[in-house]
C-alpha cells in the first residue's frame, strides 16, 4: 500500500511563504500534497511568486502582504485568508532569523536588538497560532500546526537572543500541544541546521559540510518535507515534539573515521591512525 502525504481539500497557511527559501518550499510542498494555500509575506513580489507556484500545482492561493511582527496586521491578514479559503486546518510559521545587525556577544547585548529578534522569532508565532487555533476550536475541527525552530535553541555563540526566542517557541508550542490536544489540534516543531537559502547563502559556507555526518548542508525542501509529515495524518499520534533536521550536526561529531575530541591518549590515537 502506497503511503503519501495527503492534505487534499484543506486550507494551509504559511506565514513567511515567499522569498525562494524555506517558506516558498513549504508552500510548494503543501500545494503538491493537495492543500489550498494562504500565504502571509511582507513583500508583494514574494506573494505573487508564491501564488504563481501554487497555481502551477493546481491549487488555490490567497495572499496577504503584511508585517508578521505587527499584531493587528497579522490578525487581519489571517482573517482575510480564512474568509477566502474557508477554515484553516494547517499552519506553518516560517518567519524568523537573525539579521546582521542583531548579532552580539552575550555580555554586550543591545536590548532593542533582543526585542526585535523575539518579535521576529517568537511573538508573531504566538499570535498566528492563537488565531488559527481559535478558529479550529470554534468550529470543533481538528488541525495541525508546525513552528520552525532551530538547533540554535540549544545555545549558540553570537545568537543568544535568537536561541532564546527559539527555545521559547519550543516551550510555548509544547504548552499549546497540551492545552489543545484534547480538541484534536496537534502542535509540533522542525529545528533546522544549516540550510541553503537566498538569505543564508546558497553556495558559501560549504566548509560547514565537513562537520556534518551527512556531508552536506540542507536544502529548503528538506525542511518542507519534514513539516509536511508533521502536518499530515501520518503523524496523527505526534504532538509537542521537535523534529531536528540537521544532517546529524547536533550529534556533536562529524562522523566517519574522525576520532572524538576527548580521545587524547597517544596510544589510542596511534592505534586508530590519528
Which residues belong to the active site? 162
Give Cβ neighbours of residue 176 (< 8 Å, ≥ 6 apart).
129, 133, 145, 185, 187
Cell numbers placing 103? 548579532
Say if residues 146 and 190 touch (Cβ distance below 8 Å).
yes
Distance, CA of 158 to CA of 168 (rounded, Å): 17
**Backbone φ, ψ for residue 77 (5° rounding):** -60, -45
Which cell numbers hold the place of 146?
A: 508546525
Backbone φ and ψ of 23, nearest 5°: -65, -40
Cα–Cα distance between 122 and 141 in angstroms, integer?
25
Which region, left, alpha or beta, applies to residue 256 given φ > 0 means left and ψ of -120 to 50 means alpha? Answer: left
Distance of CA 97 to CAs 22, 130, 148, 167, 232, Å?
11, 21, 10, 13, 26
Contact by Cβ (8 Å): 45, 67: no
For cell 504566538, the residue is: 126
C-alpha distances in angstroms, 65 versus 30, 126, 183, 246, 272? 20, 19, 31, 31, 58
Amino acid at each position: 500500500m502506497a503511503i503519501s502525504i495527503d492534505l487534499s481539500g484543506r486550507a494551509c497557511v504559511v506565514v513567511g511563504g515567499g522569498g525562494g527559501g524555506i517558506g516558498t518550499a513549504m508552500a510548494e510542498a503543501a500545494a503538491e500534497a493537495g492543500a489550498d494555500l494562504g500565504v502571509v509575506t511582507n513583500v508583494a513580489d514574494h506573494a505573487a511568486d508564491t501564488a504563481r507556484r501554487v497555481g502551477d500545482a493546481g491549487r488555490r492561493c490567497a495572499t496577504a502582504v503584511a508585517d508578521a511582527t505587527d499584531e493587528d496586521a497579522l490578525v487581519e491578514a489571517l482573517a482575510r485568508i480564512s474568509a477566502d479559503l474557508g477554515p484553516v486546518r494547517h499552519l506553518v510559521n516560517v518567519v524568523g532569523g537573525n539579521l546582521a545587525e542583531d548579532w552580539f556577544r552575550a555580555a554586550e547585548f543591545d536590548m532593542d536588538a533582543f526585542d526585535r529578534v523575539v518579535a521576529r522569532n517568537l511573538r508573531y508565532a504566538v499570535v498566528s497560532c492563537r488565531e488559527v487555533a481559535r478558529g479550529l476550536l470554534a468550529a470543533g475541527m481538528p488541525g495541525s500546526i508546525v513552528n520552525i525552530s532551530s538547533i540554535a535553541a540549544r545555545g549558540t555563540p553570537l545568537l543568544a537572543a535568537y536561541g532564546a526566542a527559539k527555545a521559547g517557541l519550543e516551550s510555548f508550542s509544547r504548552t499549546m500541544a497540551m492545552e489543545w490536544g484534547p480538541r484534536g489540534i496537534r502542535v509540533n516543531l522542525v529545528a533546522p541546521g544549516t540550510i541553503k537559502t537566498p538569505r543564508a547563502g546558497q553556495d558559501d559556507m560549504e566548509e560547514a559540510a565537513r562537520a556534518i555526518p551527512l556531508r552536506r548542508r540542507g536544502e529548503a525542501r528538506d525542511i518542507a518535507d519534514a513539516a509536511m509529515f508533521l502536518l499530515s495524518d501520518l503523524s496523527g499520534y505526534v504532538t509537542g515534539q521537535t523534529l531536528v533536521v540537521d544532517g546529524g550536526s547536533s550529534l556533536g561529531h562529524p562522523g566517519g573515521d574522525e576520532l572524538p575530541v576527548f580521545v587524547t591518549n597517544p596510544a589510542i590515537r596511534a592505534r586508530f591512525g590519528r
